[in-house]
Chain A
């Protein structure tokens, strides 16, 4: 599936919920099911700055696709990363670079998109894209 198709699927899933409680409960579930990052990647270097909770992201190229793993010490933050990883992992770097992130707004997480918000969703997206840029350069 393309990034756009996955995003559409996520938007569909979230559209089933009537209120914020259900959305957050679902996000928390997603957070709990996030495949854990290898402990050895939980380094200072892999911490995304700008988050009140700790967020680690690791990227690895498998064939021509970029695979992300991540973790956080806060479960809601983890849920947000789980959504991002589902949308962006296992995709070609160039496609990650080109992808837009409007779906975050559509699933009712707009409040987390403010650049000053302490959870650093914006920093997370930026970091995923930076990895993609770095690996794309490598592929070229």
Chain B
């Protein structure tokens, strides 16, 4: 393993929230898969926007509007470069991954016919299941599920069998939020294209760990949320290949997305504005760009190496606790550990950890089908970021032991 070179002590100083206490204890924030924390560099950008150039964009003749427009479009460029996207108008600003997915699902209702099939993986977040169910209900299409094995890996032989000329769309997350599994999306995309199906990859959980090259992946759609990569909530990206974005009908009507309006007919604006009706989250978009700058400043290779080290360290330490089982043991996974202790409800463990200042997620993680698969009510999920430390992992392990002693 390559030795991690991150100066975590210095990095932690960038995050004001990491200095606070919870229940009289230093905060140990291990719910990064739900949302990442925000560094001062991003907070400063947000403050600067509202203090110095808050204005509506794309339509004003005045200086503030021009400055805001320039900053917003510069953020779009940053996102384009970060994901190696061919054209900046293939980057659509949305309110986040859920919005992005709904935009595509809604658009596909114009293409999908009765008998057509949509494939989704067995390890999807609810936001990735429900829009496709709604799409199939509207169109008479059929939703099929790519199964997974006990380790929490997709069974690729089954996937290849499910692909037919009826398959129109394949949907899969890049990384599972509940299990941390890194899915073989290269193989998924390539095989789907062979039968003429489009592929949407949800990159929400991947973005904080992996810098995806979307041209190399040849993916049709890719989505992320800014708040998973040290940016603000309520803003995200939909990437779509130009040919697809041109084909898809607009999702919402409103200002910004039109070219010309009369009461008889409206012509739509060009990309990306066709999908950006109304005043967008301008400050959020600009801060999203700043967040990517921040993470790139640290370096995704360094982040990946360090998080891998944390993952191994935490896995080893947790498994020493008798009765502890980890769900999601894929060969390729990110720094997410979903676990339970025999005979103890995850909610109880989460409650005790909270009293100790340790923030984890408990429950079904919006992925009930996975919980049904393992026949459990939920798990405790600890998810690590590059600003977490081995000392914090130790606190988690001690906290879990303490909870176990109290609860058994």
Contact = CB atoms under 8 A, between A and B. Distances in A.
Interface of A: 20-21, 24-25, 28, 52-54, 73-77, 118-119
Category for how many chain B residues contact A: 10 to 19
Contact of B407 (A20, A28, A53, A119): A28
B375 interface: no
B363 interface: yes
Given A52-B378, A54-B377, A73-B377, A24 B355 contact: yes
B348 interface: yes
Nearest to A20: B355
A24 B353 CA distance: 12
Contact of B347 (A24, A25, A53): A53
Contacts, number: 41
A28 B351 CA distance: 12
A74 B406 contact: no
B347 A76 contact: yes
B372 to A, nearest CB: 14
A83 to B, nearest CB: 15
Interface in B342-391: 344-345, 347-348, 351-352, 355, 362-363, 377-378
Contacts of A118: 347, 363
A75 B362 contact: no
A76 B355 CA distance: 13
B23 interface: yes
A28 B406 contact: yes
5 contacts: A52-B363, A53-B347, A73-B345, A73-B377, A118-B347
A25 B355 CA distance: 13
From B351, B363, B406, name the one whose CB has the most chain A CB atoms within 10 angstroms: B351
A76 B348 CA distance: 6
A51 B243 CA distance: 46
A74 B347 contact: yes
Contacts of B377: 53-54, 73
A28 B407 CA distance: 7
